[in-house]
Amino acid sequence: MLLKLWHKNKIALLFLAPWFIGIIVLGIVPMIASLYLSFTNYNMFQAPTWVGLSNYQTMLFSDSRFIQSLKVTFIYVFVGVPLQLLMAFTLAYILNKGVKGLAGFRAIYYVPSLLGPSIAIAILWRQIFGTNGVFNDVVSIFGVQPNSWVSDPSTALFTLIVLLVWQFGSPMVIFLAGLKQIPEDLYESASIDGAGSLTKLFKITIPMLTPIIFFNVVMQIIGAFQAFTPAYIIGGERGGPLDSTLFYTLYLYIKAFTEFQMGYASAMAWMLLVIIATFTGLLFLSAKKWVFYGE
Amino acid sequence: MRVKQIVWFLVIVSFFFLIVGCGGGDDNTTASNGENQTETNDDTDDSEDTVKEEVEIRFAWWGNTERDAIYNEILDLYEEQNPHVTIIREPSGWGDYWTRLSTQTAGGNAPDVFGLHLLLYGTEYLSKDVIEPLDPYVESGLISLEGWDESVIDAGKYNGNLYALAKGVTTQGLLTNLSFIESLGLELPSTDMTYNELMDFAKEAVNVLGEDEYVIGDPTIIEHGIETWAVQKGGSFISEDGTSLGFSKEDLIEYWTYWDEMRTIGAIPSAQVSAEYSGMPEESTHFAQGKAIFIDRPINRARMFAGYMPEAELTIARYPLMEDGVHSGGEQLQVPAIVMSKNAKHKEEAAKLISWFVNDLEATKIYNAENGIPGTAPVRENLQGSLGPIEALTFDHFEKVVADIPATRMRPEGSVTVLSAYLRYAEEVAFGRTAIEDAVDAFFEEAERILAN
Amino acid sequence: MKNRKRFWGITKFVLLSIGAFVMLYPLLWMLSSSFKPIHLIFSDLSLWPSEFTLEHYKVGWAGLSGYTYTTFFKNSFILVGLSILGNIVACSLAAYAFARLDFSIKKVWFAIMLGSIMLPYHVVLIPQYILFNNLGWVDTFLPLVVPKFLATDAFFIFLMVQFIRGIPKELDNAARVDGCGPIAIFAKIIFPLMTPALVTTAIFTFIWTWNDFFSQFIYLSSPKIWTVTLALRSFLDAMGESLWGAMFAMSILSIVPIFIFFIIFQRLLIEGIATTGIK
């Protein structure tokens, strides 16, 4: 029996050996440790004390900031990610072929993603979307009242979504790589059949790209749920104004490293894992219907 | 099969590490609490000519590149004077410093000697048995407290034990732009204004202030404002036993109402303007841009602001006084201190370094009151000659304040959580989202729930 | 028809150019800030500095604690180079197994792999730190590099899996008929054909490792092994004075290598496939 198992798996094990060590030592073990801590009071410096489900109860039933952080994060994920992916796909499609000087444009459009959410960007963002910022100058052309977009609680999150959309470079590059993988002869034979560019887009490009679209959707959703740096650096560490940029992981970080409640933070982490896993699971289930592999 | 075995081996090993690591904090409690250090001290001391064991001491601080240069110069000097000591330096910026320090401490790998901001994080560390008490080293003479102000020594005590020595001390004050006042055709009533005088002054000032110009930033959305008010009322932010708030609902209503009026008349910025500037560099504040009369900041930053606004004449005024208060002045000492980790490997050497760092005249001369006013008279006197005008002002102001305020106590455990709740409700009030009375009720309810745990 | 096409082409070009300006604005702003004297950085919002200074570059490059940016750039390059190597080797091996090989409870392992990136980093930090500390690896590059060789970046495994699944299986079958085993198939067919994914991995690993602040900061505490990203942060002090000009100047320099790397590798991304091309 064991021997059979060995024979079946030995080749795969050869390829997976480094990954196995990594996932167990650096993945599963710390995860189990954090799962354990989620049932404890742990101030980081002294041994944790078991409190059962208490962290989870507090979180779900009596922590209004937790609910607020969920709200903020859901808006960020479900408004920001679709916009960002749409942007990434459109530009990848345009920049894939056609216009002269494409390589230059590709590089330029990737610049925002090179910068990352750095402090310089944080300062810049506050200037652009501040009272005297460029953004007001631009929107005033369309008759929009000037505002301090970063510090108005009803628009602060919107500026962070703009940042996410603006840094669409990574999914764009992945889309580009995917577009390159589509065999040219498919387009050639379609042209012979007299298909227009829109037909090609919907009958060839998008179906052939579905594995990559699927990948981008899954990964961007996982990433956006865990978004931390934009809120931490640009939102000003506390999630203000009025908790309007209190991202889930920012609140988790505050609990862990400012308030020294690592047990509570661990419980929040596992709750987030369940939420993300649910959405990812649904995506994988739906994938059978719309993702086409060349196998 | 070998791969699987290796995997299992690694799992077991890593579990083992985890358990050992987590227990690390507790082991030390028993190991290092005894008197054995004081005994060993005697051996290592005055044996100058014997070859000393090579030791490495890890030293961590927060600050920027300029501070790094100062620290390195000081620590190089120490290495020169003590060739057997190598100091491993771990500098970092303010915000990141605390994340790394808590991770290192949790992992049983805290630096041997490090900076600790007592008002903000003191209790979180001192109450958890990760910091070495310094009393035995003071007794054995390795650490000298000669000429130290009693109030500054007290600020480093927790539960009666001395844990921390001040690298410098500072306190909240009103940095004042005299040139701006003059250009407005106004006159500063005095550098010891009461809240009422400040209000009268503000009412006069708003008539002549231009657009986007203010008397002062909104103090309700930073923690020192309410803490000072509570002390002036005879209380504290959180009661001494850490179970309830240290002020009454009426106190808070009165406080918020006072500043709400200031906001209404335009003396302080609206909540939205304040939020726009939160987290922005000091260089871009209204004050630094010459668009505010005062800014409430730790007074040792006067030097920094003077650098930003070379044309303006600055002075330092007291944080507003409360004439009918229990204490008219309520400023707290803010103490960036130096402490020793319980895990430190060479404790006597670490103690010597700490003592030298805060007492040695040459070292403190290089340091030049960089992180606040020195807590020891000999060091202050030694610096007198080399002070610029604004620093001299800072020193004088500090001496005036220290003589007038009640003792500073470290905030009890849990105060960080209560403070963040306070700041949220203060912001709600500032934005006009919640009426003052409702916000006070809600804050008290939440604070009591937090403190009950 | 022809006119419409030309009109369309010009419109596209104009729109792309406007977009390009929006994309480049922050870079231009940083560039201009890096040449402004300190008192103008926050008061003069124009892109063209009214006064020029090179001081920030001089002050900035001098670095701190006796280490200049030469050291920090060298450290960043070492870290990034090893990370790219690790990710490409380890992730492609694992991805091949997940995409093409059969093994017990494969779906469960795949779920665990994705699950491992769903838990916020902050709560696994301390267990990992304790592990690395006990191995004596803290304050070396090892805690940052070794995980890459253990394929802990599930993002790239998943990416490669998606690409490998896009490679027609007939190619594998044909090779098998020629007598190739799984190892030969991986080395001769899959690995070369997944060039776009490998290039993408290299680009992202470069940028993300270069910019990654949090884990570098936790594990690299001595300035002598600091990276550019860590050194940049040290110009700032939220509690005191910050050297904004120097920070902007060095930020500009720190972008240069990533940008060059991107430009070179994105050519590979576009051209590489043409030479290996799927027939």
> Which pLDDT tens digit goes with each residue over C33-55?
899 887 777 777 777 888 888 88
Pairing mode, if any, of strands B336-340 and B55-62? Answer: unpaired
What pLDDT digit, counting tens, does each position of A201-223 carry? 888 899 989 999 999 999 999 99
Contact B3 A259 (CB under 8 A): no
CA angle C34, C40, C43 (to 5 degrees): 120
What is the pLDDT confidence band of residue B50, given thresholds at 50, 70 and 90? low
β-strand partners of B166 = B337
In terms of CA atoms, which chain A residue is nearest residue B283?
A123
What is the pLDDT confidence band of residue C1, given thresholds at 50, 70 and 90? low
What pLDDT digit, counting tens, does each position of B348-398 carry? 999 999 999 999 998 888 888 888 889 888 898 888 888 888 888 999 999
Tell me the domain boundaries of chain A: 52-290
Q: How far apart are the first and last CA of chain A?
A: 31
B55-169+335-399 falls under which CATH superfamily?
Answer: Periplasmic binding protein-like II (3.40.190.10)
CATH number 3.40.50.300 is the correct assignment for the domain at A52-290: no
Contact C123 A29 (CB under 8 A): no
Q: How far apart are the first and last CA of chain B?
A: 51
ipTM above 0.90 for this complex = no
Q: How far apart are the first and last CA of chain C?
A: 34
What pLDDT digit, counting tens, does each position of C75-93 carry? 999 999 999 999 999 999 9
In terms of CA atoms, which chain C residue is nearest residue A33?
C127
Is residue B192 over pLDDT 90?
yes
Nearest CA to CA, how far is C106 from chain A (Å)?
Answer: 10
Distances (CA, A) of B241 to A126, B165, B238, B244: 41, 24, 8, 8
With beta carbons under 8 A apart, name residues in chain B contacting C235.
Answer: 64-65
What per-residue confidence (pLDDT) applies to B43? 43
Burial class (CB in 10 A: 0-12, 13-18, 19+), A185: exposed
With beta carbons under 8 A apart, name residues in chain C contacting A218.
Answer: 114, 158
β-strand partners of B336 = B117
Chains that touch C (3 or more CB pairs under 8 A): A, B
What per-residue confidence (pLDDT) applies to B16? 42
Q: Where are the alpha helices (DSSP H) in chain C?
A: 2-35, 38-41, 55-61, 69-100, 106-116, 121-134, 142-149, 154-165, 169-177, 182-185, 191-193, 195-211, 214-219, 228-233, 244-276
The answer to whether C237 and B371 are in contact (CB under 8 A) is no
What pLDDT digit, counting tens, does each position of C207-219 carry? 999 988 888 999 9
**Per-residue H/E/C for chain A:** CHHHHHHHHHHHHHHHHHHHHHHHHHHHHHHHHHHHHCCEECCCCCCCEECCCHHHHHHHHHCHHHHHHHHHHHHHHHHHHHHHHHHHHHHHHHHHCCCCCHHHHHHHHHHHHHHCCCHHHHHHHHHHCCCCCHHHHHHHCCCCCCCCCCCCCCCHHHHHHHHHHHCCHHHHHHHHHHHHHCCHHHHHHHHHCCCCHHHHHHHHHHHHHHHHHHHHHHHHHHHHHCCCHHHHHHCCCCCCCCCCCCCHHHHHHHHHHHCCCHHHHHHHHHHHHHHHHHHHHHHHHHHHHHCCCCC
Is A108 within 8 Å of chain C by CB?
A: yes
The DSSP secondary-structure symbol of B68 reads: H
In terms of CA atoms, which chain B residue is nearest residue A7?
B1
The answer to whether B263 and B430 are in contact (CB under 8 A) is yes
Is residue C174 over pLDDT 70?
yes
Is residue A30 over pLDDT 90?
yes
Between positions 175 and 194 of A, the ones with CB within 8 A of C are 176-178, 180-181, 183
Question: Could you tell me which residues of chain A have a Cβ less than 8 Å from any Cβ in chain B?
Answer: 6, 13-14, 17, 20-21, 24-25, 29, 33, 43-48, 62, 65, 122-123, 126, 130-131, 148, 150-153, 156, 236-238, 240-243, 254, 257-262
In terms of CA atoms, which chain C residue is nearest residue A222?
C118
Per the model's pLDDT, the better-predicted residue between A152 and B15 turns out to be A152
Question: How far apart are alpha carbons B295 and B337 in whole angstroms?
Answer: 25
The answer to whether A247 and A73 are in contact (CB under 8 A) is yes
What per-residue confidence (pLDDT) applies to C274? 40
Rounded average pLDDT over B104-120: 92
The DSSP secondary-structure symbol of B99 reads: H
With beta carbons under 8 A apart, name residues in chain B contacting A65.
Answer: 424
Between positions 120 and 149 of C, the ones with CB within 8 A of A are 120-124, 126-128, 131, 147, 149
Percent helix, percent strand, percent coil in chain B, to nearest 5: 50, 15, 35
Nearest CA to CA, how far is B210 from chain C (Å)?
Answer: 17
The answer to whether B87 and B119 are in contact (CB under 8 A) is no
Is A31 within 8 Å of chain C by CB?
A: yes
With beta carbons under 8 A apart, name residues in chain A contacting C168.
Answer: 294-295
- Name the least confident of A102-111, B336-345, C218-227: A102-111
Q: How far is CA C222 from the centre of its chain?
A: 23
10 Å Cβ neighbour count for B269? 23
- Name the least confident of B199-203, C3-7, C112-116: C3-7
**Which residue, among C241, C243, C247, C248, would best test binding to B if mutated, counting the most B CBs under 10 Å from its CB?**
C241
Q: How far is CA C10 from the centre of its chain?
A: 34
What per-residue confidence (pLDDT) applies to C240? 66
Contact B273 A46 (CB under 8 A): no
Question: How far apart are alpha carbons C251 and C246 in whole angstroms?
Answer: 8
Contact C166 A280 (CB under 8 A): no
Rounded average pLDDT over C89-112: 92
Rounded average pLDDT over B225-247: 91
Distances (CA, A) of B370 to B5, B302, B309, B339: 57, 11, 19, 18
Is C219 within 8 Å of chain A by CB?
A: no
Rounded average pLDDT over A172-187: 85
What per-residue confidence (pLDDT) applies to B30? 36
Residues 6+ apart with CB under 8 A from B165: B134, B143, B156, B337, B338, B339, B354, B355, B358, B375
β-strand partners of B170 = B334
Rounded average pLDDT over C173-193: 89
What is the pLDDT confidence band of residue B174, given thresholds at 50, 70 and 90? very high
What per-residue confidence (pLDDT) applies to B182? 95
Question: How far apart are alpha carbons B339 and B354 in whole angstroms?
Answer: 8
Nearest CA to CA, how far is A153 from chain C (Å)?
Answer: 24
Give me Rg for the CA atoms of chain C: 23
Contact C239 B307 (CB under 8 A): no
CATH number 3.40.190.10 is the correct assignment for the domain at B170-333+414-452: yes
Nearest CA to CA, how far is B3 from chain A (Å)?
Answer: 7
- The identity of residue A91, as a single letter, is L
- What domains lie within chain C, and their CATH numbers? 1-53 (no CATH), 55-276 (1.10.3720.10)
With beta carbons under 8 A apart, name residues in chain B contacting C43.
Answer: 289
Nearest CA to CA, how far is C61 from chain A (Å)?
Answer: 18
The answer to whether C128 and A286 are in contact (CB under 8 A) is no
Ramachandran bin of B194, using left for φ above 0, alpha for ψ from -120 to 50, beta for the remaining angles:
beta
Place of tokens 């507790």: B26
Is residue B14 over pLDDT 60?
no
Nearest CA to CA, how far is B262 from chain A (Å)?
Answer: 20
Picking from B204, A215, B275, B67, the residue whose alpha carbon sits closest to that of residue C165 is: A215
In terms of CA atoms, which chain A residue is nearest residue C181?
A11
Per the model's pLDDT, the better-predicted residue between B427 and B96 turns out to be B427
Contact B10 A254 (CB under 8 A): no
Contact B424 A242 (CB under 8 A): yes
What per-residue confidence (pLDDT) applies to B136? 95
Per-residue b or e along B21-34, where b marks 16 or more CB atoms closer than 10 Å to that residue's CB:
bbebbeebeeebee
Picking from A123, A128, A85, the residue whose alpha carbon sits closest to that of residue A224 is: A85
Q: Which residue from A20, A45, A242 is facing B7, i.e. has the nearest CB?
A: A20
The answer to whether B50 and B58 are in contact (CB under 8 A) is no
Residues in chain C: 279
Contact A45 B128 (CB under 8 A): yes
Distances (CA, A) of A10 to A1, C165, C181: 14, 22, 13
Rounded average pLDDT over C121-141: 92
10 Å Cβ neighbour count for A72? 25
What per-residue confidence (pLDDT) applies to B352? 95
What per-residue confidence (pLDDT) applies to A219? 93
With beta carbons under 8 A apart, name residues in chain A contacting B423.
Answer: 238
Q: Which residue ranges does chain B devote to CATH 3.40.190.10?
A: 55-169+335-399, 170-333+414-452
**B260 phi and psi angles, rounded to 5 deg:** -65, -40
What is the pLDDT confidence band of residue A183, given thresholds at 50, 70 and 90? confident
Between positions 69 and 128 of C, the ones with CB within 8 A of A are 90, 93-94, 96-97, 101-104, 109, 112-124, 126-128
**Which residue, among C44, C104, C130, C135, would best test binding to B if mutated, counting the most B CBs under 10 Å from its CB?**
C130
10 Å Cβ neighbour count for B197? 16
Rounded average pLDDT over B204-223: 93
What per-residue confidence (pLDDT) applies to B115? 94
What is the pLDDT confidence band of residue A98, given thresholds at 50, 70 and 90? low
In terms of CA atoms, which chain C residue is nearest residue B106?
C126
Handedness of CA B41, B42, B43, B44 (dihedral sign): positive
Nearest CA to CA, how far is B356 from chain C (Å)?
Answer: 21
Q: How far is CA B155 from the centre of its chain?
A: 11
What pLDDT digit, counting tens, does each position of A107-163 carry? 889 888 888 778 888 888 888 888 888 888 888 888 888 888 888 999 999 999 999
With beta carbons under 8 A apart, name residues in chain A contacting C76.
Answer: none
Is residue A103 over pLDDT 90?
no
Q: Which residue from C118, C162, C200 is facing A173, i.e. has the nearest CB?
A: C200
The answer to whether B215 and B202 are in contact (CB under 8 A) is yes
Per the model's pLDDT, the better-predicted residue between A96 and C154 turns out to be C154
Q: Which residue from C65, C138, C233 is facing B93, i.e. has the nearest CB?
A: C233
Chain mean pLDDT for chain A = 89
The DSSP secondary-structure symbol of B336 reads: E
Nearest CA to CA, how far is B281 from chain A (Å)?
Answer: 8
Supply the angle between the helices B436-452 and B249-264 in degrees, to the nearest 10. Answer: 140
